[in-house]
Amino acid sequence: MGQFARSSGSSSPLAIHSHPSWRHVFQALIFDFDGLILDTETPEVQIWQELYARYGQEFPLDEWVRTVVGATIANLDPLAQLERLTGLPLDRQALHEQVQRTRLDMQSDLPPLPGVAEYLDSARLLGLRLAVASSSPHGWVDGHLRRLGFYDLFDTVICREDAPRLKPDPDLFLAALSALHLRADQALAFEDSPNGVKAASAAGLRVVGVPNSITARLGPLPADLLLASLSDLPLPGLLGHFGDSLALHPETPDDLPGIRAVEEAAFSRHNEADLVDLARRRGKSVLSMVAIQAGGVVGHALFTPVSLDPPSSGCRGLGLGPIAILPEFQRTGIGSRLMRAGLEHVRRLGYGFVILLGNPAYYSRFGFTPGRLFGLSSDYGEGDEFQALELRPGTLAGVRGRLKYIPEFEETGC
């Protein structure tokens, strides 16, 4: 049995110039945290305003925003300022502890800002990777991400402990790109403050500015695109603004001729195309995923059931293959997006694992490891090319047996 899966690698400038209808394909989104995912700044302002009002004073909001928000070191001490304004000796330690308790209490159940959850969900379905680049500490960021149910959606979370310099220096974003193994042109950054925009821009990223009610007081952000809220523009539209028009979705009847053309062109034979048609006709196609670019089908991935001997109750898996990209669209990043989008779709369908035959050096980037490490064997060899991925952690724990693709693979000579 031949190799089932073929796909493209990362995007290449040569590929961009070699195809006249080529448009950019992003691989990841990198988010700031405070003020972008969670509005942690408004409660703090409210606390200071209320404290100042108790002493008959007005909190210097504009100065606080200018010198504290997004700054590496806060250059305004609100309690020292209040003491100067009132001329009264204050118990700064007691007031500081009171402010911190109230702030933490108010921030403990904050919801995500509008549009954030939708962007994260849409990004996963579009095969995009996700990262956080925040000047705040891990304890703060990780805790809130877990509370919101977002933590496992991110491929990497970069915080102040992970970089030598904080914003407006680019180190946090450079660390995020390094963790993702991406170039700056392959990712988009989202920021709410001038220092954050400067940091992302200095790292070579294109930046979407989304000021909140506090950072908006600093004036227009010097970003490549400004939004009042992430809810104002769905993610596909935002990607299209930057030249990424790649669409990924389960096949429709209109896609069928394009799917066959992609399979035949990618493999230089008709066997894989015959397999796809036969699996579809016999109801064996669990997911047939297409990538649409330049008005037509440029990529395709097929997921079909696999059988396990002996059977394991509640352990449902799929075989991936074939996966194919038109030759002129290979090495553009489309294959990576198609792979991730397909895996996300079948995870949401309730499947626990996926197997494939392919190049370990390539598929390891998606989390695949040799099937034998899970105690699995196959009819297709026991080498590293036979790989498995748990879509739900622990699915294959204690599972042992031999896996096999649907018989249509042998019927069509794949």
Q: Is 105 a catalytic residue?
A: no
- Name which of 343, 276, 350 is nearest 315 in CA terms: 350
d(CA 318, CA 405): 8
Residue 324: strand pairing partners:
300
Residues constituting the chain: 414
DSSP secondary structure string for all residues of 110-173 = PPBPTTHHHHHHHHHHTT-EEEEE-SS-HHHHHHHHHHHT-GGG-SEEE-GGG-SS-TTSSHHH
Locus of tokens 């002493």: 55
| CA gyration radius, the chain | 25
Compute φ and ψ for 386, nearest 5 degrees.
-85, 110
- Here the tokens at position 92 are 């700064």
Nearest CA to 226 out of 62, 217, 216, 236 is that of 216
Which residues have a Cβ under 8 Å from the Cβ of 239 and sit 6 or more positions away? 26, 126, 188, 245, 246
Q: Assess whether 34 carries a catalytic annotation.
A: yes
One of 34, 171, 244, 255 is an active-site residue; which one?
34
Catalytic residue among 32, 142, 192, 244: 32
Which residues belong to the active site?
32, 34
